[in-house]
Amino acid sequence: MDANFWHSKWERGEINFHISEANPLLVKHFEELHLTKGSRVFLPLCGKTRDIAWLLACGYRVVGAELSELAISALFKELAIEPAISTVGKLTRYSAKDIEILVGDIFDVSAENLGPVTAIYDRAALVALPASLRAQYASHLTRITDAAPQLLISYEYNQLLIDGPPFSVSADEVKQHYGAAYQVKSIESRNVEGGLKGKVASTESVWLLQKIASSSAEEIVQKQLDAYNARDMDAFLATYADEVALFRFPNTPSATGKEEMRKNYTARFSDTILHCIIVKRIVMGNTVIDHERIRVTLPEGPGVMEAIAIYEVLNGKIAKATFISGKKTPGEKL
């Protein structure tokens, strides 16, 4: 699938994906973004969606990106607005009061020519792209918007039964693309009445994505270390995902879920000399690797254990931790 696919769709008027009113899921859930009037909302691959008219009527400013100039010419005609047209690098800019659309390849849209945005509404972009482009798109969108809060709509169905677009994007894939930068929350999931394209059973889901601070992976791991040293079980477990998976390197499971962790760590936290220091820490994206020295009570008395801990953080919680045990030495000096 390339640009010619979409240009041909618009040229032939094959736009069954276009609906004549604002998307009911947008109307129902837009308030989840908690935006003030005048906020600037980005719609990637917007087409001539009626969602734009709804957002303008509600007092928001709109910026969009769209491949087809035919679609944007039709959009402004339907809005009864005469746009100013200019060239911005490889893109064509259509602009008027409270609305601006960049026409061209979404991957040519930069943070500079997009400008600051308050939020993203993605109804038709992620699901319009084949699997080979979705990771690149999600990364690009996150970068040019500085991970602005996002309302995302996706579909999930058996992709073997019909061709996209819209393509099937599973919950796991949404989290895979956005989990490192966002807290990902499902706010509604419903069956598509009559099936997608009238052919296949499908679920339509609405996601709320809220930015995680870039340093949060390290902060979360540090919070769990602080709670560990304070032997505060509740605060310690609060830094972990409900379905956290713990492993002994390389892939031997040692615990699954916080309740199993609680059982495993209860005896450890009763050790009055327990304390851990970090010899070295490496942070890369949502992964934190700690070289640890831990003072504990060994069977033969006080001692120090060495360990490597590899933490993977998703949606603001430690989702996976892998431990490599090192040498044990007698004595209390760390």
User: Which 3 state secondary structure label does DSSP give 274?
Assistant: coil
Give just the sign of the alpha carbon dihedral 42, 44, 47, 50. Answer: negative
Compute the distance between CA of residue 71 and CA of residue 81 in angstroms, rounded to an integer: 14
Compute the distance between CA of residue 207 and CA of residue 152 in angstroms, rounded to an integer: 5
- In sequence order, the 6+-apart residues with CB closer than 8 A to the CB of 259 are none
Compute the distance between CA of residue 30 and CA of residue 24 in angstroms, rounded to an integer: 10
The annotation status of 54 as a binding-site residue, yes or no, is: no
Compute the distance between CA of residue 327 and CA of residue 334 in angstroms, rounded to an integer: 13
User: Which 3 state secondary structure label does DSSP give 68?
Assistant: coil
Nearest to 151 by CA among 180, 184, 106, 175: 184
Give kind and range of the element (H or E) at residue 314.
strand 301-314
Q: Contact 167/132 with Cβ under 8 angstroms? A: no
Q: Contact 30/121 with Cβ under 8 angstroms? A: yes
Pairing state of beta strands 252-256 and 301-314?
unpaired
- N-terminal to C-terminal alpha carbon distance within the chain: 59
The annotation status of 45 as a binding-site residue, yes or no, is: yes
The annotation status of 123 as a binding-site residue, yes or no, is: yes
Residue showing tokens 């928001």: 60
Nearest to 276 by CA among 308, 301, 254: 308
Cα 38 to the chain's mean position, in Å?
Answer: 25
Residues tagged in the binding site annotation: 10, 45, 66, 123
Residues tagged in the binding site annotation for S-adenosyl-L-methionine: 10, 45, 66, 123
